[in-house]
Chains A and B, each alone.
Chain A
Amino acid sequence: MKILYRVVTLLSCLILFSASLLAGGFENINIGLKATAMGSAYRALADDWTAAYYNPAAYALINDNQLGGNAAFGHYRQTLVPNFRRTSNTDSFESGFFNDREMYNAHKILSNPSGGIVLRLPVWGETVFGFSIYQPFDYNTNWTLFRPLAAYNTANAIPNDQYSTDLDVVSFQISAGREFKEEKLYLGLGLQLLRADLVWSELKFRDNPMPAPFDDRPYDMIPEWTHSEGHGWGFGIKGGLLWTPTDRINLGISGNIPFDITISGDSSMLNFYLPKVGNDGGFSIGTIEHLFASGSRINGLADFETKLKLPPSFGIGLSFDITSKLTMAIDAQYMLWSQFDGFQFSYSNFAGLSGLVDTSILVQAITDSTNDTTNVSDWVYESTSHPVVWENSGRVMLGARYNPSNLLSLFAGGYADQSPARKATQFTPNFVDTGDKYNYSGGFIFHINEWDIGLATSYTSYPDLQINRIDSDGDGIDDAIPGLYQADYYETVLSFIYRF
């Protein structure tokens, strides 16, 4: 009991520590039915193929061979009331955002399948091996928040996926777990082949490089919509330890080190929506002045590359059999989100620009109202991605399992999660993480002969977050997209496990 007391004390400290932090990230917290239903407090009692994710050492406790699969269905339900305007000390000027209006992310039920097989083999004595496929990181949202003000060429509509993120990191993992001290100590290791797929759209507002009157309102900011699709491969390592000091107590410790993944693609699009000045300003085709008064859309295609720096994590969990039917578990995890620095895109192999832009225009120089000079091509191809500074964050999870009979298991749990994105200046609709998140979960499994079939559902509550206008460089353009952010997340998991 002494060890139990110490572990509980440690976890309690982590809980208190966590409460002082803010919330998030794009980690897929719930892998598998039991873990989902128990609020992911699963490190110390993972007893199915999902131990590959929570603690590979727990494989050693799996007595049967297993084949399992999950189908998770998630739904991000987010709301944003934008307040993105150009502001002076006393006035604000409309930007084209749907300000003061409740906007919703595009409705989508996300499916997230995963599965694995576990085999106990007579290797190194007896070792439990497993192969699993699951998504340790996943995020998906899509917003339409902007329409150019009257005066732009309305014939050139900006696509609906203005702020869109579809990030999937799939792990193909080989795991092994083995007993190292009889009924006391178990160790496990997982080797991950990671596949990352990214679809990213973003709307930025570029300073009009032309002098007055070309950059008079509302042409002062030129919308640039970028859309990138690509993928990359990488590796990761998972390791775990499971210690059973008594028959009723399990202590699990595990960690994950994913290595950087370079994501690249050859279909990055850069679209510029140029001002439409009446009568095309009276300028001749082929001049810069005409280009920036024509209301045309110029499109660029390029290869892109960005580095996905996934965060390492480590955690500790404790499970305790209160009775023969009831088990409680508590976990804590710390994730080094400071490793992640956003998506900084670098472009290459530009395929040229469509529309009214040709090589003769690209090499011409523009002098703006402050006498800064730049070439058209430099302006077009300027990298506009900005790094983010996320901070490490923690999570505390609590779960319970109750077996009323041999036919049925019931689960309940929840967690408190913290956000790495604590700087309001970095807040964009591409990642909506509004603060301390609280999750409430439950589920059940029927045990029918060799089959376990169940269902779990979870609800994650996000706090409302008001992002105020921040203009750190004093250019009159908000650094983030201010407004009132609200979010919830729902997930339902269907699961089966076949034992053989």
Chain B
Amino acid sequence: MFGKMIKFIALSLISISMIVLLSCEDRGTNVPAISSLDGGGPWPTADHIHSPELRWLLSNNIEQLPTWVYIPQVAAPPPLGVSRPVPLLILLAPQGANKFYFAQHGLQELLKEMIADGTIQPMVVACPSNDPTFGGFMYAGGYNFSHPVKVIDSITPPSGNNDAIFSKQLVKWINSLGFTLQGQQKTGIGGFGMGAYGAFRAALLSDAVYGSISVTDGPLDFDGDPGLGFGNGLIDLFDDALIEQGLLNDSTYVQNFDSSSAWPISNMFIGAAFAFSPEDTVLFEHNSSFLPPPVWKMDSTYGFDSLSPTHITGFNAPSGFRFDYLLPFDASGAVYSPIWDNYWLTENLKSLIDSSTNKLSGVNLWFATTTESKLNYYQQTQSWINTLKNPPYVYNVTEKKYLGVPGSPASGDQYVYDLLREMLIFHSNSFGN
């Protein structure tokens, strides 16, 4: 009996030991280790004076383009890095956003994490500010003599020579710093909203500077394509501008169209007017006491004279002085063809690509687009994508369609963080090895 008991005890202990060993093994918690972060960092004051390109820019007496730049660790000089040049990505902010727009949506932390864990290759990312006056000038504007149709216009539009900056000078300046690889494939550009238009415009006006473009919904087709269900673009949107000011069906709107920042849609039109339309609001060189003489207007039929100089900093205008600007709409709010056809549609991407030398050939294209987008940007984006995907271009376009979560529709900037992650991956892949 005693022997049996000993066997029983031994078997029991072995069995229990096995159960304990097998069942109670410490598995840990499987929490992933915190990845090391890229040791690079932001250069938040990479502000650069672009002269004379910004000499005529409203409210910018020092001709400076504020810019936030992220420099990855490997591109930094020793001892932090190894001075290895990396690709360059330029990100253009939407209307009304400054150089911190992307940083405020987590760009720096995304770069640190994604570079460190190998999700993307190290890259310099430059985020110039959109212009604070009227929320921006569509990243457009050039010396009048560079644009034949404007040859009888004033000396330069009040938006400054953005075309020169974004199509060439900005990349040239950053490349001169020594952090970046040069060449079309190693240079990308992206943008949100108005920045989306700016990104394509810069690429189309440049000579093969950008090898990849990523954008979200934006004013990418001014007149849309109603035949294909893409609406009338900005034409439809102008009613919204009048509605936001309570001026719909008000024939006096020409005199009462408010240029204050309270009306974002209206502001966009005024900014675009300064970039595209002929006007007399220029001729004022900063730090100069020189006031413009009366300037010949090309077309004053619907000259808006409601722009108060109080909206423009750094300018001590005589009492009662008011700037004029020309919108491409008449007193009834209908399209005014002399301005619309000759000055605005010529700046539409569909026109620019026709006159472009590179026509985006070989450029990788990525779109994030949502039906919840504001300002009928979705329809304009779809129309532009349709243009790119069909003859004569037939480009391969990567299109990400997305929707916001309930209670937080993707009407504005809500999902910049998530889209940035995907845009960075797209550009990283486009940059190649």
Give me the interface of A with B, judged by CB distance under 8 Å: 75, 77, 86-91, 93-94, 98, 101-107, 109, 143-144, 147, 149-152, 154, 160, 212-213, 215-218, 220, 276-279, 281-282, 293, 405, 407-408, 444, 446, 455, 457, 459, 471, 474-476, 488, 490, 492
Contact = CB atoms under 8 A, between A and B. Distances in A.
A281 B104 CA distance: 7
A488 B23 contact: yes
Contact of B414 (A75, A212, A281, A459): A212
B414 A87 contact: no
B100 A282 contact: yes
B110 A104 contact: no
Contacts of B416: 216-217
Given A216-B416, A217-B417, A405-B1, A492 B16 contact: yes
A107 B31 CA distance: 13
Contacts of A101: 30, 32
B147 interface: no
Interface in B1-40: 1, 5, 8, 12, 16, 19-20, 23-24, 26-32, 34, 37
B32 A220 contact: no
A198 B147 CA distance: 76
Contact of A103 (B24, B29, B417): B29
Contact of A75 (B23, B30, B106, B404): B23
B381 to A, nearest CB: 17
14 contacts: A75-B23, A77-B27, A101-B32, A106-B29, A144-B29, A154-B37, A213-B413, A215-B414, A217-B105, A278-B103, A278-B107, A471-B406, A490-B19, A490-B24
Contacts of B23: 75, 77, 459, 488, 490
Q: Which of A216, A281, A459 has the most CB of B within 10 A?
A: A216
Nearest to A370: B407
Contacts of A444: 8, 12
A94 B34 CA distance: 17
B97 to A, nearest CB: 9
Interface string B36-64: 01000010100000000000000000000
Nearest to B42: A278
A162 to B, nearest CB: 10
Contact of A93 (B28, B113, B405, B412): B405
Contacts of A216: 105, 412-417
B408 interface: yes
A405 to B, nearest CB: 6
Contacts of B408: 215, 217, 220, 476
A212 B412 contact: yes
A104 B25 CA distance: 12
Nearest to B411: A212
Contacts of A93: 405, 415, 418
Contacts of A154: 34, 37, 109
Contacts of B212: none
Interface residues of B, number: 49
A29 to B, nearest CB: 18
Given A151-B110, A216-B416, A492-B16, 18 more contacts: A86-B405, A98-B30, A103-B31, A143-B29, A144-B31, A149-B417, A150-B106, A150-B109, A150-B110, A150-B113, A152-B109, A212-B412, A213-B105, A216-B105, A216-B412, A455-B12, A475-B407, A488-B23
Interface in B281-300: none
Given A90-B403, A216-B105, A476-B406, A98 B24 contact: no
B5 A278 contact: no
Interface in B388-433: 401-408, 412-418
Contacts of A446: 5
Contacts of B150: none
Nearest to A85: B405
B112 to A, nearest CB: 7
Contacts of A88: 402-406
A94 B119 CA distance: 16
Given A104-B28, A151-B110, A455 B417 contact: no
A218 B416 CA distance: 9
Contact of B31 (A90, A98, A109, A279): A98
A55 B113 CA distance: 60
A459 B112 CA distance: 46
A278 B102 CA distance: 8
B108 interface: yes
B28 A151 contact: no
Contact of A218 (B106, B108, B401): B106
Nearest to B417: A217
A475 B32 CA distance: 29
B86 to A, nearest CB: 19
Contact of B16 (A150, A217, A455): A455
A320 to B, nearest CB: 26
- Leading 4 A-B pairs by shortest Cβ distance: A278-B103, A151-B106, A476-B405, A150-B109
A395 B312 CA distance: 78
A408 B1 CA distance: 10
B285 to A, nearest CB: 30
Contact of A217 (B27, B34, B418): B418
Contacts of A151: 105-106, 109-110, 417
Interface in B93-132: 100, 102-110, 112-114
Contacts of A407: 1, 5
Nearest to B410: A88
B401 to A, nearest CB: 7
A227 to B, nearest CB: 18
B417 A218 contact: yes
B11 to A, nearest CB: 10
A391 B157 CA distance: 73
Most chain A CB inside 10 Å of its own CB: which residue of B5, B100, B402, B404: B404
Contact of B27 (A104, A213, A281): A104
Nearest to A151: B106
Contacts of A215: 408, 414
Contacts of B12: 444, 455
A212 B417 CA distance: 13
A217 B408 CA distance: 10
Nearest to B412: A212
Contact of B103 (A106, A279, A455, A488): A279
B414 A457 contact: no
A217 B414 contact: yes
Contacts of B112: 150
B116 to A, nearest CB: 10
Given A91-B402, A213-B104, A220-B414, A457 B27 contact: no
Nearest to A476: B405
Contact of B413 (A107, A212, A277): A212
Contacts of B44: 278-279
A216 B102 CA distance: 12
